[in-house]
């Protein structure tokens, strides 16, 4: 039986939700059924074994993936995730979302994603380096600055990208900085890349406030689920705008302060202790309690599927900005939209990361680098323009669902490009 018809892709809720949302967008926009069917499946998927020698001398074998969903518009682009729940289906779903995200914001890139099923917190630095180098070597035939450009995701960072870049370059015989983005500045990284996803989330929130007619001030309450690379930056930026960040959380739970946190002190505490628990002038809360807080803006910035049919009735936020990929499943999303909650969809809200990754790729190919102010200005321009295209599309298609409108905007560009290129052979 063909892998395409075996149901292997549908194993992940994230993948199934992405397909459901694509089908709804296709129905509304009357998408060519042949294009719709093609977009439901990835172009290419590679599964690799990643053996490494552990510090104790034993050999452990991990499973790694790289999925390229669609490359009609250009090279693949997408992160590398190290997490114990990574699967082929999840990676395929994330690659699909990257396709729509790149198309929506007008980048000449396709959608890809990769990962290894591993708990990176249980690896030493040497073990993680070995894992990264072997994985890079195993997928090297399908990545490259003109083929597919990985970037950091959950469990990976700039150091991981440095190891990937070095491994790929060593095997080619010369330095190829453009094979990955999210690198350290000394290896050709871009100013503003580390903060770009969280900063993009906040840019879309600012535009949402203008669209809905409310001010972001000391009376605006914000809760952030996931205080990592995205959530911590979004929380800091919201506080700088004058909003009151009343709750934040990490994998072990959250903290709450009805008067809002001193964000500078909180960030310093978290940097020192690597946990939120115990921060002065705060009350402990669970992640579920955070999602149910009565706040103006909720930013789910951790993992997919945290808002679902069993807890959606408790969600009281007026605006939800999807900092993570797929944090709201399809059933919960429908219920929230019907209740009038304004949802800034993930392929728009968290697109700042891939936008600045694109900037890094361009700067590296030209060997001409921009200041952080220039990067932020260009990021804001692209993501704000995309926001207004989505809002216009929402009105044009007579839907109150920003996610459907965003998918339509992204798929429409893909549809035109795919029809123009035709089917090979």
8-state DSSP, 173: T
Give the Cα separation of 43 and 92 in Å (integer). 10
CA distances in angstroms from 341 to 14, 188, 316, 323, 386, listed in the order given: 21, 41, 9, 16, 20
Cα torsion 344, 348, 354, 360 to 10°: value is -100
Omega cis (within 30) before 393: no
Give the Cα separation of 232 and 253 in Å (integer). 15
Which of these, 285, 344, 347, 348, lies nearest to 317 by C-alpha position?
Answer: 344
**Residue tagged active-site, from 77, 101, 113, 403:** 113
Give the Cα separation of 30 and 18 in Å (integer). 18
Give the Cα separation of 359 and 374 in Å (integer). 10
113 labelled catalytic = yes
Give the Cα separation of 10 and 92 in Å (integer). 9
**Encoded tokens for 227:** 């205080």
Residues identified as active-site: 113
């Amino acid at each position: 039986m063909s892998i395409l018809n075996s149901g292997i892709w549908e194993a992940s809720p994230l993948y199934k939700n992405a397909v459901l949302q694509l089908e709804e967008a296709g129905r509304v926009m009357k998408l060519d059924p042949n294009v719709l069917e093609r977009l439901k499946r990835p172009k290419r998927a590679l599964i690799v074994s990643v053996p490494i020698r552990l510090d104790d001398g034993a050999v452990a074998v991990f499973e790694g993936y790289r999925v390229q969903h669609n490359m009609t518009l250009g090279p693949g682009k997408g992160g590398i995730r190290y997490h114990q729940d990574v699967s082929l289906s999840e990676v395929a779903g994330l690659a699909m979302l990257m396709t729509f995200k790149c198309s929506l914001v007008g980048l000449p890139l396709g959608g890809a994603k990769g990962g290894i099923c591993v708990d990176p917190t249980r690896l030493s630095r040497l073990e993680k380096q070995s894992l990264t180098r072997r994985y890079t070597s195993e997928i090297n035939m399908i990545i490259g600055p003109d083929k597919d450009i990985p970037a950091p995701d959950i469990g990976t960072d700039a150091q991981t990208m440095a190891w990937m870049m070095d491994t790929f370059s060593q095997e080619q015989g010369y330095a190829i900085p453009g094979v990955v983005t999210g690198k350290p500045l000394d290896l050709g990284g871009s100013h503003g890349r580390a903060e770009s996803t969280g900063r993009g989330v906040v840019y879309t929130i600012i535009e949402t406030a203008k669209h809905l007619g409310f001010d972001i001030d000391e009376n605006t309450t914000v809760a952030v689920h996931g205080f990592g690379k995205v959530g911590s930056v979004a929380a800091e930026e919201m506080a700088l705008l004058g909003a009151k960040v009343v709750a934040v959380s990490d994998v072990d739970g959250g903290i709450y302060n009805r008067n809002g946190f001193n964000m500078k002190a909180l960030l310093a505490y978290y940097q020192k202790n690597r946990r939120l628990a115990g921060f002065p002038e705060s009350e402990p809360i669970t992640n579920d309690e955070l999602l149910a807080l009565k706040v103006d803006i909720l930013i789910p910035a951790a993992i997919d599927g945290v808002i679902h049919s069993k807890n959606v009735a408790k969600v009281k936020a007026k605006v939800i900005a999807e900092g993570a990929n797929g944090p709201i499943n399809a059933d919960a999303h429908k219920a929230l939209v019907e209740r009038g909650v304004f949802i800034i969809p993930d392929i728009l809200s968290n697109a700042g990361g891939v936008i600045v990754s694109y900037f890094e790729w361009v700067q590296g190919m030209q060997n001409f680098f921009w200041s952080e102010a220039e990067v932020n200005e260009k990021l804001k321009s692209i993501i704000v323009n995309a926001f207004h295209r989505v809002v216009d599309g929402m009105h044009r298609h007579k839907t109150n669902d920003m996610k459907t409108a965003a998918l339509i905007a992204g798929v429409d560009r893909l549809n035109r490009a795919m029809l123009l290129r035709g089917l090979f052979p």
